[in-house]
Structure 1
Amino acid sequence: METYNIYLVEDEANLSQVLKAYMEKEGWNITIFADGDAAVEAVEGKPHLWVLDIMLPGTDGYQVLKAIKEKEDTPVIFISARDQDLDRVLGLEMGSDDYLSKPFLPQELIIRAKKLLNRVYGTSSSEVQKIDLNAYSIDPIGRTILDTEADNEAVDLTTKEMDLMLLLSAEVGKAFSRERIIEHVWGENYFGSERAVDDVVRRVRKKMPRIHLETLYGYGYRILSS
């Protein structure tokens, strides 16, 4: 069982305790914040996942999300009892990875969290091997990429940049559509533009200039071995 550190930001004390109990049954370490100000101060803690309510005393959930994403691309599940469509779209556009509308069953949060954690932090299967590709050593389990031509210096990628690289490098030469990339990197509930894929690809190319990341115009992308 994988141990994850999860920050839960929820001002309803009863709900936060119920959710905490369910998540602790999964072996996760849960830290509760009852208002947005305390959550912003805790951004430096860098948990594996934030579960973030939108309506909070003091700093609201949108501002907390902004503070999180400015520091690091840590995955976030937004929860809200307000206008569902508006909150969902705004949250996803600002960088949240999933959305739950109140009321919801605690087990639904567990299912969403497990899926997101697995997607972001990878599988524990021992069969997954490191990939050597164009002067880069890619470790899917450790989610690290080393530049072997620069004394094994680590390539600093955001969560979504890493997700993209792990997807494409797992099947070198295979073409992936933008729709498939969005489903893998942003999740099935993403409502933004497909141009988000192009932005991530552009950043990866800048950070990994020796990678051969080919554009398939009108379709998507693929990585070639040389």
Structure 2
Amino acid sequence: MFCIHLVDDEKNLNEILSMYLQKEGWEVRSFLNGETALQAIQDHPHLWILDIMLPDIDGYHLLRRIKEESPRVPVIFISARDEVLDRIMGLELGSDDYLPKPFSPRELVIRARRVLERVYQQNESKSFHLHPYVLDESKRLIKKEQELLELTSKEFDLALLFAKNQGQALSREQIIAHIWGADYVGTDRAVDDLVRRLRKKLPELRIETLYGFGYRMVFQ
């Protein structure tokens, strides 16, 4: 069983997120401030989920202390400030993911699961060859020859979804459920925008538009 430490000073949100994480069968210990979380660093959980804005110490200081004690433990940052500087600082300090508020609790569960699988998965990496690209599922990398290509988390998830379903028609509803989760609230235009961005970054993928339905990636 995975053990997760959740740090967020919003009591209601903390309780909701804890409930969603526990439903996955994970052991969750929650904290409402940084000082109490500091005392639990030596518990060595499998994953930390940290709010940047805390009432006493900020998440950056807490992240530094966590990495000093357990350099390999993964960390997901959450924050009401969706700023580029926050993302960059978090990554530079060793965070594995960044989720701006507001977000769906289900999205956090999905991201947590992916981080846990990536860090603790014992199986060999599975690769998909989408000529001229090679997609590594476990490492969440995509290459063209020896060049590493940069994709956002959702762009990678979409490429992986297409890779696992080559030749199959995927409706916009299916894509939304897989990428954003069943709790997604919004229009299916988000799918079209995500596909557009993926086509721009990976122009040699053969993604067909199925008008009035969705998309399909044909065999490479």
Do the two structures share a fold, i.e. TM-score over 0.5?
yes
Q: 2:111 aligns to what? A: 116
Q: 2:130 aligns to what? A: 133
Contact 1:68–1:74 (8 Å) recurs in 2: no
Length-normalised TM-score, structure 2: 0.63
Distance 1:38 1:182 in 2: 34
The more displaced of 201-210 and 24-33 is 24-33
Distance 1:36 1:177 in 2: 46
**Among residues 177, 199, 210, which one is paired with 1:205 in the alignment?**
199
Amino acid corresponding to residue 203 of structure 1 in structure 2: R
The 1:165–1:48 alpha-carbon spacing in structure 2 relative to 1, beyond 3 Å, is farther
Partner SS state of residue 32, structure 2: helix
Q: 2:47 aligns to what? A: 28
**Among residues 178, 181, 191, which one is paired with 1:187 in the alignment?**
181
Q: 1:196 aligns to what? A: 190
Displacement after TM superposition at 1:3 (Å):
9.5
Amino acid corresponding to residue 117 of structure 1 in structure 2: A
Residue-pair matches, total: 181
Displacement after TM superposition at 1:49 (Å):
1.9
Distance 2:130 2:116 in 1: 21
Q: Percent identity over the alignment? A: 31
Q: Counterparts in 2 of 1:1-226, with a 5 A limit?
A: 8-10=7-9, 15-16=32-33, 17=36, 26-29=45-48, 33=52, 34-35=54-55, 38=58, 48-52=75-79, 61=80, 64-67=81-84, 74-76=97-99, 78=101, 91=102, 96=103, 98-99=104-105, 113-119=108-114, 124=121, 126=123, 129-148=126-145, 152-226=146-220
Unaligned runs of 5+ in 2: 12-29, 68-73
Amino acid corresponding to residue 217 of structure 1 in structure 2: Y
Q: Give a deviation string over 1:62-115, Cα, whole Å, max 9, x none.
A: xx134578758945275xxxxxxxxxxxx3xxxx3x249xxxxxxxxxxx7554
Length-normalised TM-score, structure 1: 0.61
Unaligned runs of 5+ in 1: 53-60, 79-90, 101-111
Distance 1:200 1:171 in 2: 17
Partner SS state of residue 208, structure 2: strand
Q: 1:107 aligns to what? A: none
Distance 1:224 1:125 in 2: 31
CA RMSD of aligned residues (A): 4.2
Partner SS state of residue 65, structure 1: coil
Contact 1:138–1:144 (8 Å) recurs in 2: yes
